[in-house]
Amino acid sequence: MSAAPHLLVAHQGTFDELGTPLREVTFVVVDLETTGGSPADCAITEVGAVKVRGGEVLGELQTLVDPGTPIPPFIQVLTGISDAMVADAPRIDAVLPAFLEFARGAVLVAHNAPFDVGFLRAAAERLDLPWPAFGVLDTARLARAVVLRDEAPDCKLATLARLFRATTTPTHRALDDARATVDVLHGLIERVGTQGVDTLEELTTYSSRVPAALRRKRHLAEGLPSGPGVYLFEDAEGRVLYVGRSTDLRRRVRSYFTASETRTRMAEMVGLAARVRHVPCPTVLEAEVRELRLIAAHKPRYNRRSRFPERAQWLKLTVEPFPRLSVVRDLRDDGAAYLGPFGSRAVAEAAMTALHEAVPVRQCPGRLPARPNRSPCALEGMGRCGAPCTGAESVEQYAVHADAVRTALGGDLRAVLARLEAKVAALSDAQRYEDAAAHRDRTGALVRAAARMHRLAALAGCPELVAARPTVDGGWEVTVVRHGRLAGTDVAPRGVDPRAVADALVATAERVLAGVGPTPAASAEETECVLRWLELPGVRLVHVDGVWASPAHGGGSHRDRYAPVTGPADPGADRRRLRPAR
């Protein structure tokens, strides 16, 4: 892959740029009083909010709200807010726009934030008001990670207010509780600050379960850019431990040292890491593809997926006088027909069994000469094979069966599926539900594999495809794909002619030679990444060399009917609904 040189911009980030410093963050601490606990059937009676930045109070907002319904007696006792007090108060349709304006550009903070933010969002939805993309911080959640049990018996607001010596005592009134929450927030920030947490990103992902030794490795993220790309964790000897990707390299890598990693193996990996290398990418698509290629190249011990694309299984119709189906790993340029790739041999064998049930191709191993003379096997007596091994079928007669399989693999499943579905229906009618389910599942394995392969092969059959997609800032992502492989990608910024960028990219993109099989130039995963990008809203085809089209009667037209299903946990459960959907 390559990018047009006029758009490459070098950027060396500083350590301070690894996050948004807390001293620069504007927080709006909010508290609500309501008529009950659920926004679905309860309403807001009071809003209190305090805006702070760098430890200084910038403003306050407080108002009672007419809920439009009587306030339950126990709520009146708890909050001291009565029906008479809210009789002349504004309704929420007047209060909420004012609050949203007050909180614009800030991070919302609340004690038990899901409650308060949930009520505000529900009110915005009822009023058909757009909800801004607020960052949200929950002081209750943060306190549970910071405050020890011997310091406080619980993390209620009143308890924490006493612990951090808040200047305002919580009273179940919105503004008082918001002011108390401000002091609790500052106390919590002071606590985590001693552990090196000094950015908003670290604060929102903080967990006390991150060991101090791990947190001290934050310097490994120094200098990483904030754009998309791939990162590689390496040990002291330079061996790649883990490869990942992100739309924001800086934030993602630093999160390994500040957030709680529930996966034991990843915490172990970070403990072994001595450095982090990165590969900046102009687009998210390139980052996704580069990740796959680097994982396949280095096979890092801590990556679970995509390490061994060469181990994919394929179903092959051999080239010989009497072709047969075989599960293989290698694709050869011998004129054979293939189906795949499969993630496991078991799934490949399930699809092969489905084809054997629909078409009487031989199942015996080994190559048969043009004039065989063997004894028949049991399949001949069961009517499932024409016994070419005995000479009962000539090469020409047997070719009809081989052609039926070749047609199915090539893009027309109609004849094969008709036979398989008829068999499933017959078994279901005979109340042989377990057998019908087994046949249906094998048919599904065949259909899904065919749908995937036909989709991949359609793109891989195009020597070159150029596409563009608008970006959120008015520019264009431009991509060149050759034989299903990502050959180049770049971004035309707003104001730059994307056609010029596309022309430069085509001229400098990777040269790709087609190989063998349905995915001749890239792994199936890479081609699928490209296909997902091409199917995103707004993508436009600039140029297509060849024909990009999937077969009308291929696996894709039947895929939805054979979506993977989970069998009933109870072996005695009703399994009579086993006929394919029509």
Backbone angles phi, psi at 91, to 5 degrees: -80, 170
- Rounded distance between C-alpha atoms, residue 425 and residue 316, angstroms: 28
Instruction: In the chain, count H helices and then E strands.
Output: 19, 15
How would you class 330 by CB atoms within 10 Å of its CB: exposed for 0-12, middle for 13-18, buried for 19 or more? exposed
- Rounded distance between C-alpha atoms, residue 96 and residue 6, angstroms: 47
Q: Residue 27 region, left (φ>0) first, then alpha (ψ -120 to 50), else beta?
A: beta
Sequence-ordered alpha helix ranges (H) in 383-474: 395-410, 414-429, 433-460
CB 336 within 8 A of CB 346: no
How would you class 90 by CB atoms within 10 Å of its CB: exposed for 0-12, middle for 13-18, buried for 19 or more? middle
- Rounded distance between C-alpha atoms, residue 101 and residue 110, angstroms: 18
- Rounded distance between C-alpha atoms, residue 117 and residue 112, angstroms: 9
String of DSSP letters for 351-368: HHHHHHHHS------SPP
Of 188, 329, 293, 324, residue with least CA distance to 521: 293
CB 276 within 8 A of CB 337: no
Q: What token pair was written down for 207?
A: 């967990």
CB 183 within 8 A of CB 167: yes
Name 580's Cβ contacts closer than 8 Å, sequence gap at least 6: 421, 424, 440, 443, 561, 562
Buried b / exposed e over 562-576, threshold 16 CB at 10 Å, is: beeeeeeeeeeeebe
The residue type at 517: G
Q: Tell me which residues are annotated as active site.
A: 172
- DSSP letter (8 states) at residue 450: H
Residue 32's alpha-carbon distances to 48, 115, 118, 189, 281, in angstroms, are 6, 9, 11, 23, 44
The residue type at 415: A
